[in-house]
Structure 1
Amino acid sequence: MFTMYGVVAIFVCSFLQYSGADFPDDPKPCKFGDEDCLLKAINFYLHEKNQGDASINLLKIDPIDAGTFTLKQGADNPVNIDLTFSNNKITGVGDASAYKVRGFGKDLTKKHELRFKIPVSSLIGDYKIQGRVLILPISGSGKNNITMVDADFVLQWVGVPLEKDGATYMKTDKFRVMIKPSKVLFNFENLFNGDKALGDNMNLFL
């Protein structure tokens, strides 16, 4: 569960990479509050432009270079770990589909919501872990693969109008993420210095 939230955070950032794009007129721009149009536009860019498009300043999102990041859980928790991921990539974002849009009307200060489904999304790369799970010390380094299956993402936020160069843009505030995967699969290779029995059991526990 601890690691899953880190994956969610990186996944959400992948969608936010679209915010700097200069979108063209094809597909056509949507009118305020036109939910059907917005769904079609979002899915067009997810499925047709997930490899990026330099002509409109659109970044590649499948796979996503997640780089290096560290997740920590405090000493008062039964799972007390310091987990660093490096050279990681996230796959599967291009297969995501938006199925519900709410908001995006003329009043940007209202609540906005996007809902996505993604069949399979994986975080793959290198890891290093140190810490304790219950009473068992845990350590290891090697390859990692964390996969979420049939995940439902809900993104909610409140808009804040931003005036720039004579145009009005929307900043996000009170951003909230909810996720419901049918299952999450963990595979950290070389846990406990390669002890297969301990490593397999720990991957199941996580």
Structure 2
Amino acid sequence: MESRIIAATLLLCCIGYTYASNMPDYIQICHRHDPELSKCVKQSVHNLRPYLGNGIKEINVPALEPLYIGDLNILEGGAGGITVKAKKLSVYGASNFEITKMRASIQNKRFDFELILPLLKGEGQYDINGNILALPIKGNGPFVGNFTNFVAYVRIAYDIKNINDVDYFELKEFGLRIRTGKGRLRLENLFNGDKVLGDVINQTINENFELFTNEVIAPIARALEIKFRAVAIKILENFTYNELFPV
């Protein structure tokens, strides 16, 4: 009986070693019954970060630096009837996230984690019209923004699908919410380039940064959710369930 247990243990170790040796450097495997699974998954995701900036061509994972979002209707008819549109929006720094909390559950087929984005930079073109804090605002042109310590809450739910007797991940849900941090925005060419009025509006926005970003963060979060979901799908579809989470 004891010899059988030893043999089984050795077999599992050999299987685990085979998976590990065949996996690329950017994938750190986690054994599904690891008592510290959450810690392992957290480290595995952190291990992946250096590769996300330039993307992973061999499995068609797009680059996160910069994260190109494109055109976005950020706010339509918000407080004061304000309308904000962004064009050719690019975000820098998305790959420098750090997971602060992680809960991984194989039984519930869920990963829940909290991460911080220490520094993000956004740039592109804007079009804005309406009122901010009772001040009329109108203009279009280039903008740049620097954002620090934004917090994201991510929820991933998955299922296991069997294809030709091989199990694969099937992403069922990928949700992302963002809590705003601090930052500064600079909108150029407000009021057709009137510097005095433009400086007043930019100062007002930055003095009330959290209030302003709370108005516009939801569509930005949805856009980021779509991008990060695409990255997650590409990674999961290129490896089997047993390769990523062997017994």
If the TM-score is normalised by the length of the shorter chain, which range does it land in? 0.7 to 0.9
- Cα distance, 1:51 vs. partner? 0.6
Q: Once the 2 structures are TM-superposed, how far is the Cα of residue 196 of structure 1 from its aligned partner?
A: 1.7
1:47 to 41, 45, 50: 50
Structure richer in strand, relative to its length? 1
What do the CA deviations read for 1:83-137 (whole angstroms, capped 9, x no partner)?
Answer: 22112210012222223211242321x5x31222222101111111122334433
Does 1 or 2 have the higher relative contact order (CA < 8 Å, sep 6+)?
Answer: 2
Hey, what's the Cα distance between the residues in 2 that align with 1:160 and 1:118? Answer: 25
Change (3 A) 1:42 1:198: same
Alignment of 1:43-192 (within 5 A): 43-74=46-77, 77-78=79-80, 80-108=81-109, 110=110, 112-157=111-156, 159-161=157-159, 163=161, 165=163, 166-173=166-173, 175-181=175-181, 183-192=182-191
Larger of the two Rg values belongs to structure: 2
- AA matched with 2:71: T
Deviation at 1:162, TM superposition (A): 5.5
Structure 2 distance, partners of 1:176, 1:198, is 36
- Report sequence identity in percent: 21
**SS where residue 82 of structure 2 aligns?**
strand
Asked if 2 retains the 8 angstrom alpha-carbon contact of 1:46 and 1:97, the reply is no
Q: Which has the higher helix share?
A: 2
Letter in 1 for 2:30: C
Counterparts of 2:116 and 2:193 in 1: how far apart (Å)? 36
Q: CA deviation at 1:197?
A: 2.2
Asked if 1 retains the 8 angstrom alpha-carbon contact of 2:145 and 2:183, the reply is yes
Distance (whole Å) between structure 2 residues aligned to residue 84 and residue 173 of structure 1: 28
Q: Say whether the 8 Å CA contact 1:156–1:177 is kept in structure 2.
A: no
SS of the counterpart of 1:31? coil
Gaps of 5+ in 2: 1-21, 206-247
Q: Secondary structure at the match of 1:145?
A: strand
2:152–2:176 Cα contact (<8 Å) kept: no
Q: How many residues align?
A: 178
State whether residues 91 and 122 of structure 1, in contact with CA within 8 Å, keep that contact through their aligned partners in structure 2.
yes
Distance 1:104 1:196, change over 3 A: farther
Q: Letter of the aligned partner of 1:82 in structure 2?
A: T
- Judged with a 3 Å threshold, the aligned counterparts in structure 2 of structure 1 residues 131 and 117 are, in CA distance, closer, same or farther, namely same
Give the TM-score normalised by structure 1: 0.74
Q: Which amino acid in the other structure matches residue 63 of structure 1?
A: P
* Counterpart contact for 1:46–1:95, Cα < 8 Å: yes
- Looking at structure 2, the residues matched to 52 and 174 of structure 1 have their Cα atoms a distance apart, in angstroms, of 20
Q: TM-score, normalised by structure 2?
A: 0.63
